[in-house]
Structure 1
Amino acid sequence: MDFKDIAVSKDHLQSIVKNIDYNKLILYHYDRLFKETKEDKLHRKRESMAGCNSFWVLDQYEQAKVKDFKKTNLCKDKFCNNCKKVKQASRMAKFIPLIEPYKENMYQLTLTVPNVKGEALEETINKLFKSFARLIEYFKGKEKIKGLDFEYWGYKGAIRSLEITYKKVKRGRGFSYEYHPHLHALIVLEGELGERLYKNPYSKDYLGNRAVRKFNKEELLIQKIWRLLNDGKRVTLKNIEALDIGYSCQLDRFKESDFIELFKYMTKATSEDDKGMEYIQFKTLYYSLLNKRQIQGYGCFFGLKDDEEITAQEVEEYYNSLIEDLRAKENPVERLESPQDLVEDDVYTLISRKKIYQHLKNIKNN
């Protein structure tokens, strides 16, 4: 067995080291918020993140020059760069095989609202969730809009995910902080939708210079309904027709790369200008996202359960056979090492169950 096939890459280790280093900024923010509020759970979160992924328990095989990853400590904090990556990978492994049967009729629906100030962020997120649930009720025909028919859309189910970006904006001599909460949704529609024939201000690129897309009539309808829902207005055909334009939404055929958008974490580690999160941004996001459920399934995706292509038992059996071969030649020495140490180690091959899963999946696919 060539252990290089299941080796953890140096690039992966270096990304972990980078994330650990970035987390120092979040630790500082947790410290400051704890001193400000005296909330004990903030201190506990800070301590948990401080030790996150800092040391790995390994079995070292001297003759084979192999280090076998056993476990590490993860804090599972929503602001932790390491844990967010782990969560995203876990979601993709869990849900993608279950979504696969619907791939011929899947769409990526992106729903946005205007940017908001920090004090309005939590209320805006709550509105987004309620508005999306209402929108789904229209799609499935449980709630009616007189004069409109959604039956031909052939709605079967959806998964929605929350994302928030943020930026610091110069205002005169000072600055303000803006937040852009929006939803990514996978939606299954078995009906035939209209052609893309229509332009509106959302057709232009982000600089507003040129038209880059046209919309179909279904997208224009969603845009207007979405605006009425989030503005707290009655959704009637009269109110829909009275609007010149709604809020931005795009409905496109679902691509493989859209899974990353759907299952990624709620907020990025850096702001849109690639700078570290400031304390005021951290505080706003921390309280606005408390007890918020990022992923929600509807219809055919309600209550999804894990059913991976490669089962945990297969990984365990393969892993055990490798370890038995190694232990037949020598007994390992348990070690405690940091990711930084492992980046610098060019002698030993580092293996893990996760890499074995990927290796088995590649074998099956080929």
Structure 2
Amino acid sequence: METMTKVRELTPDYRMRMAGNVARSENAVWQYQRMMVSGIIKKELSWDEIQSMKKRVERLAGCNKIWDTETYETSNVKVLLRTFLCKDKFCPNCQAVKRMVLWNRLQPYMEQHKDSLFHMTLTVPDCTGEEVYDTVRHMADCFKILVGYLEGNRKVRGKALFLFDCKGCFRSLEIKCKGENLYHPHFHVVAVLGNGDVLEDKHIVNEFSRSKGHDYRLFSDVEVTIQRLWWLLINGQRRSYHNIVENDSLGRYSCVIDKYQPDECERLIAYVVKGSPTVGLADEDFRTLYHTLQNYRQIQGYGDLYHVKSVEGTGDYSEQDYQALERYIINGEQPVCQYEGTGRLAYDNKYIMLRGKYQPRNLKH
């Protein structure tokens, strides 16, 4: 595997948003510090936890603040090569980078399967701060089993439960803080369904047909079946044909499936926490979510979408990248290499700003 560098121009608006994320990361630093001080005073943190949190604060405080740049003075061009990222779940900088990288990785799959993509939302009842840690992990385990039914690998009475051909899916956890120690975890899922026509016949009314802020809606047979199956999985009940299809005395949890729309990708790869990760987040919520999301995989692919994940790497310019740069550079000018602050770059209107973006490429022999 070799690396290549994609060159693209950064607009002033993009640079201002980048500087804004750096400023907002200070709020996350303060919340980590308050959580650490509170844990020390109440003797709730071990020595190792304190040292680990100190390192987190140090990394977050320096995240995306300094860039390695190449400056072409005569051409009035500045190329941003690389920066330090802390990769913290609550960092606005890293969340923005993660969204951008995942968007770029998802696009080829979205284009390839654009006629068979569906957006599914799976929910469970609200839970308390003491319950949310176990709840989201149980949801992940149950979803893995649900994927087996969707793909036809798990049978009911020796037959596949669903008629469509599920080639893969991609799920993302989102947690909404509702206040008063109450949390609403749910999954957003994009699924590739080969025979999604069975989802278009929506004719069933049930307890989820009317919800706050949404029009009265009908459900398909598939949605109602998944609602029951999801309830059985979450509650550890027997997944027999009778319980899934025939027994109306059992409960359901909400499942909504609609044709995927391109503008829904932002919702799929949104922040783990509803809204900006730290703005408006109470300290108690921050502490709860910090412990909840420790070593938790927020985004996971299955089937054809299993390998959708972020790419990291470094490398030199390729011949194509040099050709892209030559559109901006005068007479083969040599650059001046230096480190510069993000705040300064955001307000520097003297130069055309370019981003050298590293991506892997496969060598052909």
Q: TM-score, normalised by structure 1?
A: 0.82
SS in 2 for 1:182: strand
Of 29, 32, 56, 2:31 maps to: 29
Please tell me whether the aligned partners of residues 157 and 301 of structure 1 are also in contact (alpha carbons under 8 angstroms).
Answer: yes
Q: Give the share of equivalent positions with the same residue, in percent.
A: 31
* CA displacement at 1:161 relative to structure 2: 1.7
1:326 corresponds in structure 2 to 329
1:270 corresponds in structure 2 to 276
* CA displacement at 1:327 relative to structure 2: 7.2
* CA displacement at 1:301 relative to structure 2: 2.7
Instruction: State whether structure 2 residue 244 is matched by structure 1 residue 233.
Output: no
Please tell me whether the aligned partners of residues 81 and 269 of structure 1 are also in contact (alpha carbons under 8 angstroms).
Answer: no
What value does the CA root-mean-square deviation take over the aligned residues? 2.9
What whole-Å deviation, never above 9, does each CA across 1:129-167 have from its counterpart, x for those lacking one?
Answer: 111111122223333334975252222222222121213
Of 206, 211, 220, 1:200 maps to: 206
SS in 1 for 2:204: coil
1:1-366 map, 5 Å: 6-35=8-37, 36=39, 37=45, 38=47, 39=49, 40-146=51-157, 149-168=160-179, 176-191=180-195, 192-194=197-199, 195-207=201-213, 211-240=215-244, 241-243=247-249, 245-268=251-274, 270=276, 275-303=279-307, 316-323=318-325, 326=329, 328=331, 330-354=333-357
Q: TM-score, normalised by structure 2?
A: 0.82
Q: List gaps (5 residues or longer) in structure 1.
A: 169-175, 358-366
SS in 1 for 2:272: coil
Amino acid at match of 1:127: H
What whole-Å deviation, never above 9, does each CA across 1:42-70 have from its counterpart, x for those lacking one?
Answer: 11111001001112222222222222212
Q: List gaps (5 residues or longer) in structure 2.
A: 1-6, 40-44, 360-365
Residues 129 and 52 (structure 1 numbering): CA distance in 2 closer, same or farther, change over 3 Å? same
d(CA) in 2 for partners of 1:44 and 1:289?
17
What whole-Å deviation, never above 9, does each CA across 1:180-226 have from its counterpart, x for those lacking one?
Answer: 1111112122233151112223222414xx74321111111111111
Amino acid at match of 2:219: F
Please identify which structure carries the higher helix content.
1
What whole-Å deviation, never above 9, does each CA across 1:288-334 have from its counterpart, x for those lacking one?
Answer: 11111122222233345899xxxx99974333235567374543333
Residues 229 and 201 (structure 1 numbering): CA distance in 2 closer, same or farther, change over 3 Å? same
Please identify which structure carries the higher strand content.
2
* CA displacement at 1:81 relative to structure 2: 0.5
Please tell me whether the aligned partners of residues 33 and 42 of structure 1 are also in contact (alpha carbons under 8 angstroms).
Answer: no
Please tell me whether the aligned partners of residues 227 and 247 of structure 1 are also in contact (alpha carbons under 8 angstroms).
Answer: yes
SS in 2 for 1:202: coil
Amino acid at match of 1:331: Q
2:42 corresponds in structure 1 to none
SS in 2 for 1:48: helix
How many pairs align?
337
Please tell me whether the aligned partners of residues 162 and 182 of structure 1 are also in contact (alpha carbons under 8 angstroms).
Answer: yes
Residues 275 and 51 (structure 1 numbering): CA distance in 2 closer, same or farther, change over 3 Å? closer
Please tell me whether the aligned partners of residues 224 and 243 of structure 1 are also in contact (alpha carbons under 8 angstroms).
Answer: no
Amino acid at match of 1:199: V
Higher relative contact order (CA 8 A, sep 6+): 2
* CA displacement at 1:99 relative to structure 2: 4.3
Please tell me whether the aligned partners of residues 131 and 230 of structure 1 are also in contact (alpha carbons under 8 angstroms).
Answer: yes
